[in-house]
Structures are given as C-alpha cells and as structure tokens.
Chains A and B, each alone.
Chain A
C-alpha cells in the first residue's frame, strides 16, 4: 500500500483517536495551517504584483476574511446535509446558469454574474464548481461501485451539461474546471480503464470539433499564439513573451521582493491576477516557485489523506474530486503563465487577486474539513 507510506509521513489524527479542540469545531488544524501559510505568502506577492498598492492588499484581505467565514460555515455542516441537498443545489445551479445567459450582467466581455435583488452579485459557474462534484458523487454513491456503464453515462451528462452552459457565457477556463470536477468523481468511482481510454479517444475527436464550432476567434488566437508568440505582439503573444521574460530573468533565487522590473514597469499584464506567478518567479526565483509548488502539494496531500480516510463513498468521491480540481487550477495557471498551455483565464488559487475564486476554494476546503471531522466512531 504505497498510499499508506505517504500517509505515514503526514502527522495527523488516527482514525477514532482522541479529538482535539479543533476537531470539535470541525476544523482540520493541518489543512488550516497550510492554507493560512499560503494565503499569507500570497499577500506578499500580491502587494508586489499590484504595484505596491495597499488598497489591493486590503481588499484582498477583506475577501480572505469572507472566505474564511464561508469555510468555517461549510465545515460545520454534516456531509449528510450535502448529500441530501445535492440534487436541489445542482438544479438551482443549472437554473442560475440559464438565467445568467438570459439576464446576466457582464464584465470583461462575458456574461458571468447574476445580479438578484437582495443578494450579492454572484457567479453561478463558481457555485457549480462545488455543486457538480457533489451531485455526481451523490448520484454514483447511491449504488454499488464501480458504477455500471449506464450510470457512468448519466454521471457524465451531469458533469457536462453545466459545462456546455458555461462555455456559452463564454468562460472556457471555468467550464473546463467544472466539467473536470465531475469527471474526476467518475474516475474515482471506478469508471473502467477501457472507458477512460475511449473517453480520451473521443476527446481527441472532439478537440477539432471544438475548434471549428465552439471556440471563439479570440480563443483560437490564444492557442495559435502559444505555438508562435511573436505572431501577435500586441495581444496574447505579448503576455506570453513578457511573462516568460519575467520568469526566466528571475533565475535561481530571484531579484528580490518588489525588485521585479517586469511587473513594476507594467510590462507584465494582469500581474496581480492571472499572471501573479510570474511576479513570484521574477522576485523569488526558481526557489520561490518551487516552494509554492511544494506548499500546494502539501495541501493536496493532506486533502487526499482526508479522502482516503473518509467514511463513505460519497465523502471519498467529493474530497477526491475537489482535490484534483484544485490541482488542475494550479497546473493550468502555472502552465499558462510559463507558456506551455494556452491562456484560458484561470487564476492562481488562493493567491491571485479576486474574490469569487477564493471564496469557492475556501468553501471547498470547508467541505473537506466537514468530511474529515464528522466521521462517526465506527471502524471503517
């Protein structure tokens, strides 16, 4: 059991062991420590990436505060509550997605927000990042695992339906994350390898179709730019050229905090949002980015531990899928900033400036903690 080996390296509670104070308020101290470290480190980078603007840092702090409260609230709810509400939340999310397409408000050239009287503006697509894996896990865990072919098909529909709606907004980055969150549940539930192979085959066929029918011109441009950044010196190519320059010039140990010329002379676009990794790479070098990746990996490892020790299939599937989605976030963001993936507008989780994604992510970690701390005292 190789998985046991890596779990042994993680100091943590043993199943059914004595519960500490943190556990009684349904928080996981290890995950909490890792998250706090990441958020704090993120603020330092953000201060630099946002042109040393205290205003940006302050408003990010406010968002982190909100996100923390959300996490604590989500951690209090028993996983059974999530299971019971899964179909309703999912249905509500679908309705909201359709509503966004009809009456949504736009920003930055896409219709993503829903502005309802009496409620704060929110992005239904963000909500679906949680609702889709929970719904898929609810559906699959009601029956024996691994799931039969017909159930896999239904689960895939559950995952892909919101994805299609989100692509229409258009928001390719979020659509991918939402769809993948559902697919990961199916993967963890034990979808057969043959099917997975077939699925990849289909994706290979679908990619050209996407190219011709779904993707907008500017998205195609991004893919083309990836292959040849010099072809579009004013648009996306500029971004890639500049972020590679920022990363590369950072070297092993970086130019030092607030010393990054690329970001401070406004060469680097979106230096406090999607491209913040480039700021970190320029100012703290290879060591800095490696440390960040290690920190992310520790968070992921702790979450997988929680998943493996969850008490029922539902908890396992939700925790596993949320963890994988979190990883994809990290991979896609660093990949696109370092120029090996097209630019799809995925923020660096918990570090990039912006409220919605932080709240969603912290809510996800709240669900993780809930799964971990509500285990009943029976031997698994």
Chain B
C-alpha cells in the first residue's frame, strides 16, 4: 500500500501501543524471574556456593580412549599406537609470539614446513584458548631441552599422545586406510563429548568404516589444582573404554606377495576367499606411506605424491574403473546359457570379424584370421570375440545387464570396504539419460566383450569371480574377520544383502568353470603357458582393456605406442577350480596382454596361497622391519 493512502493510522497506533504495553509487562515479568533466580543463587544460597567454589579446586579433564588395534588374519599387528610428543601453543597465553617462536627455534629444530603450517593454523577459525600444534614427534633430546626451558615460555606446552602407526607402511595404506587430524567438516558430525580428548579420526578404508568401533569411549579424570591452577593430584578417574581390536581377513604375507609381483609397475590385485567373502589381499601399486598422513604431510611430499604420474595416492583396487574386457566372458556365458540365447551345442563360424548386417561395420576379433568353428566352451577358452558378439546381440542389453548386475557389477557390492566405487554397468535407460541417445545394437556388441561403456573395479572383478567360484552363492567381500571387544562381530559388521544367483540348470556352472579351466589348462587356452606345471587345477580368464580404441584396420604394434598408451592387462581366476580357496582379479596397467602379463601374476598368487601359506600349516609370521614379512616356506 503506497504512502498516503487512507488508513486508520490513529487506530493502528493505539493498537500498537496496547501491544507494546503487554510486551513491556511480559518483559518485566521475565526480568523479575531472572532477578529472583539471581537472588536465590547469590543471596540465599551464597554460603553454599562459596563453600563449593572454595573447595572447587577440581577440574575435569577428558582422557582420550586408546584406538583399537588392527590385526591381520594371523594376528600380525597392522595398525598400532605409539606415544608421540608434540609442542603446542595457546596463542592467547603467549605475550609475544615472535620472540616465543624464535626462542623455540633455538631449542628445537623446527622445519620451515612446520612453521608455515603453524602460521596457517593460526589464521584458521578455532576456539579461543585451544592449543595449536607446532611441532610433532620430538626426540628424547628435544623433550629434555623443552623441560628445561618450559618455565620461561608461557603458553607453550609439551603434550604426549598416542598416535597411530602402521608398521607395514605402504603395504597397507590402500587396504587399511589411515587416520588423520579431525577437520572442521568431521567435527560437525561428531559427538563433541566423546571426542573431547581425541585428535585423530579414520579418514579412509577400514579406519574410516569402523571408526565407531575403533574409537572407544572417552574417560575423564578429576584433577585437584592449587589456586594457581597447577595440577596437584588426580582424585577420581573414570577410565576410558579402549576401542575394539579388529582382526581382518587380510593376510599380510599374501599382501606382500601381491606388492612384490607388481613392483615397478602400476596395477592392482584383489584376492578374496570365496567361502567367506573375506578379502585376503588388496593391493594397489604403487602405494604410499600412510604414516606421513597421520600427523600431517609436508606440502612438498604431498605434491610429490599427488602429482606423480604413477598416482600412488589413487586406490586402483577400489576406485580404478577399467573396461573389464574379456574377463566378463565367463559371466556372460552363464547369462547366455541361462537366458537360452545360446546352447552348449551351438557353434558359429569365426572368420576374424563380425558384422551386424551385411553392409555394416566390421567388429574385429583379436585373432585376425579368426578361430574357425567354435562352441561356447572354446569361445571362453580361446577368448573368441565373434562368438560373444553374436551372443551379446542375441541377448540384448537388458538381459546382459540383469545377469551382470547379479554378479555385483555397477554397484558397490562390498560389505565394509570404504570408498569403493560402483563402476558402470550400462543399460538402455542409462544411455538415454546420460548420453541422450538410444541403445544401438553396436553397443551390445561392444558390451559383450567388456568394452564400450562398461567399467569395473578390480574389487568388482574379484567379487564376480568369487561368485563364479561359489557357483552363484554370494558372500559380499569384507575386510573384517572378527571384533575383540565388548561388541560382537555381528553387531559391527553390516548385514549381508545379496541374493544368491540361482540359474535354471545348476550344471551350467560347472560347464562354464570347465571352460575357464581350459583357459589355463586347455590346448588352445589363451593362458595355457601359465597353467603348466601347476600341482592343482585352477580356472581363469584373461582380458585386455583398451586404453584407446584402434581404428578399424590399424595394426597394433606395442613398440610404437608409448608405454602409457598400451592396453591394460587383466586376469581373473580362482583356485583350486573344484574347491575354491582363493579368487583373484589382477590388473596391470599398460601391461599389454592379459595372458602375457596379468595371468602369471594370478598364478603366482595362487601358488603363494595354496602352496606356501596353507600347505605349510600355521607357521608364525615375524615382522622385523617395516614392509618385510618373513615366513618359512612350507
């Protein structure tokens, strides 16, 4: 309503005045309550409270609970706590920061890096009177020197705290994750009391997933102080409840084998025990030393890690999404048989290429002159692309999607693996939504050999292989074996949520497993060299994932292509084939061919697990130095 339009202003004013009067009366009433309360506290109960405050020489200090330890399946310690002394400064209590810092620099050897970080922390938002850490991990010598000079450095404290330490450093960084200092975002979701004395929180991996179990419960102590606030003695102590210890399925010996196999290369290995879903090894190479991240990594070191072309910080095992290539042919074989898109008897002629129709584009087979007449079992063993092109086209995307989904592709199917990516399982609706294009038959052709849009992580490939080894029985992959502590393992471990994959003819499982045995033991198998001399029968499938696609008739010449453009080499398999103890997925980035590069790695993993570790019984594993595992070979 614009100004000047007629309103009954006088009435409105009177109304407002009446309301103001009411407000005033209410306010005076509330002020009366406050004054009465203060009178009650300060006049009536003055003596009581005076006595209380006289006696009030007691302060409550939180005691951080020690973080639960993490062991591998053989009780080898993978994550422990060790005392670390650090220098902290309460800026509000420091009369002259400049001179204090220069004094400290004379006493301690503080790297420039720490000084810069301290300056940054000073500028960040923090609660007043909260200590700002300056220098971590003092030596014995430095602690002694600080003790001498502490009295003339007000506001400077030496604090001891238990800090996470990973004795196997880079072997376990990607599998276990690591803890780090609590940041602002994390504070928002924390119980401020429970974390009152705690500075570290799980940032990734097991450390993050099981944060609640590992953390424990805060304790506190009542400390008597003198009038100056100096601590005299501890009156009462409520001990903290230490965090639960976790025992993982991981076997650090196998983890070490996996690392050594990929040494000087880039890649990932995931090994799963099919019967339990337990993850035996989860290696992403190159790794990094997680200990650097616990107390805070220097900018220079971090830059080196994050800018390295080999991407050591990148967890390839869970987050590397690669085209799965031929490694999904066994799963698609199950799909083809069960959906009756093909039969065991059906053979097709492979001239070395495939055409959807007579004038269409040629889809090449990796074998330029073709495989001749092949049935499904031979098609898997020899990795015949044309058979799968044809079968994929008959199935169509919906059927392929349905079965691959049941093998755990396109989602994070793990129980407790923090940060695992879902990969990508394409479907017609997905393509419409994301690419705004219809699903073409050519897309089905590409999908049938694991190329095109589909992406899978090594963890997913290992999971699907374990389902294959179990003949369709699901045990979601998991890190946690058992919890020792007040809580039961069942309470901590998430519930399983996958239906077993049930197919019409149970015998089809063994048919496809036989075809996978042919890959390594058969006369024409793609990886027959790898199966030679094995004292056990195992099943496998090789694959290559194209880093870039070749033009239709271009020659593939590995020498001419720079190493980083070479195909990724893939292998999945399980052993022994008829009583699977271990299922693995191997990817060697730019390794060239699956059979030449990745399959031997798989075989070495089987040998290590079946021959060296389990045959020899339970011999003790000794960890003498970081990263060195010795176990006597059985």
Partner of B24, one of A3, A110, A249: A3
Are B13 and A380 in contact, CB atoms less than 8 angstroms apart?
A: yes
Chain A proximity of B210: nearest CB distance (Å): 21
Stretch touching chain B among A27-35, A127-135, A138-146, A364-372: A138-146
Q: Let me know if A338 and B187 touch, CB within 8 A.
A: no
Q: Which B residues are in CB contact (< 8 Å) with A262?
A: 53, 56
For residue B45, give the distance in angstroms from its CB to the closest CB of chain A: 5
Query: Chain A residues with Cβ under 8 A from B20's Cβ?
Result: 3, 188, 304, 307-308, 320
| Identity of the chain B residue whose Cβ is nearest the Cβ of A331 in the assembled complex | B30
Give the residues in chain B near A281, CB-CB below 8 Å.
38, 41-42
Cβ-defined contact, A249 with B53, below 8 A: yes
Contact, CB under 8 Å: B188 / A110: yes
Interface presence of B59 (CB below 8 A):
yes
In the assembled complex, B159 has its CB within 8 A of some CB on chain A: no
Given the complex, which residues of B lie within 8 Å of A244, measured CB to CB? 41, 49
Q: Is the CB of B185 within 8 A of A106?
A: yes
Would A251 and B16 be within 8 Å (CB), given that A245-B52, A245-B56, A261-B56 are in contact? no
CA distance A320 to B18 in the complex (A): 12
Does chain B have a CB within 8 A of A313? yes
Please tell me if the beta carbons of A247 and B16 are within 8 angstroms of each other in the complex: no
Q: Is B558 positioned at the interface, with any CB of A under 8 Å from its CB?
A: no
| CB within 8 Å for A56 and B128 given contacts A248-B49, A285-B42, A297-B31 | yes
| Contact (Cβ within 8 A) B192 A293 | no
Q: Mark A359-380, 1 if CB is under 8 A from B, else 0.
A: 0000000000000000000001
A190 interface residue per 8 A CB criterion? yes
Asked whether any CB of chain B lies closer than 8 Å to the CB of A202, the reply is no
Interface membership of A107, Cβ < 8 A? yes
A272 CB contacts on chain B under 8 angstroms:
128
In the assembly, what is the distance between CA of A300 and CA of B27, in Å? 10
CA–CA, A339 and B23, complex, Å: 24
Chain A residues within an 8 Å CB radius of B188: 106, 109-111
A228 interface contact, C-beta 8 A: no
Give the contacting residue for A249; candidates B13, B46, B92, B187; CB below 8 A: B46
CB atoms of A308 and B38 under 8 A apart: no
A194 at the binding interface (Cβ < 8 Å): no
A329 — which chain B residues lie within 8 A by C-beta? Answer: none
With A109-B187, A142-B1, A380-B13 known as contacts, the answer to whether A338 contacts B37 (CB < 8 A) is yes
Let me know if B38 and A2 touch, CB within 8 A: no
Inter-subunit contact B39/A187 (CB<8 Å): no
Which B residues are CB-close (under 8 A) to A242?
56
A248-B59 contact in complex given A106-B184, A107-B184, A289-B38, C-beta closer than 8 Å: no
Q: What is the number of residues of chain B that contact chain A, defined by CB distance less than 8 Å?
A: 62
Q: Which of A153-211 contact B (CB under 8 A)?
A: 184, 187-188, 190
Q: Does residue B144 face the partner (Cβ distance < 8 Å to A)? A: no
The reply on B21 being an interface residue by CB < 8 A is yes
Q: Which segment, of B4-12, B462-470, B524-532, faces chain A?
A: B4-12
Tell whether, in the assembled complex, residue B128 and residue A50 are in contact, meaning their CB atoms are under 8 Å apart. Answer: yes
Residue A68 at the chain B interface, CB threshold 8 Å: no
CB distance from B131 to the nearest CB of A (A): 13
Residue B227 interfacial (CB < 8 Å): yes
Q: Complex formed: what's the CA distance from A252 to B56 in Å?
A: 20
Which residues in B have their C-beta under 8 angstroms from that of A141?
Answer: 1
Residue of A nearest to B28 (CB): A297
Residues in A whose Cβ lies below 8 Å from that of B128: 50, 56, 272-273, 353
User: How many whole Å from A315's CB to the nearest CB in chain B?
Assistant: 10
Interface class of chain A by DSSP = helix
**Which of A50, A245, A312: most chain B CB closer than 10 A?**
A245
Q: Looking at the assembled complex, report how far the CB atom of A84 sits from the nearest CB atom of chain B, in whole angstroms.
A: 11
Docked complex Cα distance between A46 and B276 (Å): 62
B56 near A293: Cβ-Cβ < 8 Å: no
A119 within 8 A of B: no
With a cutoff of 8 Å between Cβ atoms, the chain B residues found around residue A233 in the complex are: 60, 220
Q: Which residue of A lies closest to B7 (CB)?
A: A144
Q: Known interface pairs A106-B188, A248-B48, A320-B20. Does A234 touch B30 (Cβ–Cβ under 8 Å)? A: no
CB-CB under 8 A for A266 and B35, given A53-B93, A238-B60, A320-B23: no
Q: Which residue of B lies closest to A234 (CB)?
A: B220
A324 at the interface (CB under 8 A from B): yes
Interface set of A (CB-CB < 8 Å, partner B): 1-3, 6, 50-51, 53, 55-56, 105-111, 141-146, 184, 187-188, 190, 217-218, 233-235, 238, 242, 244-252, 261-262, 264-267, 272-273, 281, 285-286, 289-290, 293, 297, 300, 304, 307-308, 312-313, 316-317, 320, 324, 327, 331, 334-335, 338-340, 353, 380
Report which B residues bind A (CB closer than 8 A): 1, 3, 7-9, 12-13, 15-17, 19-21, 23-24, 27, 30-31, 33-35, 37-39, 41-43, 45-46, 48-50, 52-54, 56-57, 59-60, 62, 91-93, 125, 127-129, 184-185, 187-193, 196, 218, 220, 225, 227, 229
Q: List 16 A-B contacts (CB under 8 A).
A: A55-B91, A56-B92, A107-B187, A242-B56, A248-B42, A249-B50, A265-B225, A281-B42, A289-B38, A307-B16, A313-B16, A320-B23, A331-B31, A338-B37, A353-B128, A380-B9
Additional A-B contact list (4), CB under 8 Å, known A108-B127, A307-B20 = A3-B24, A188-B16, A247-B41, A249-B50
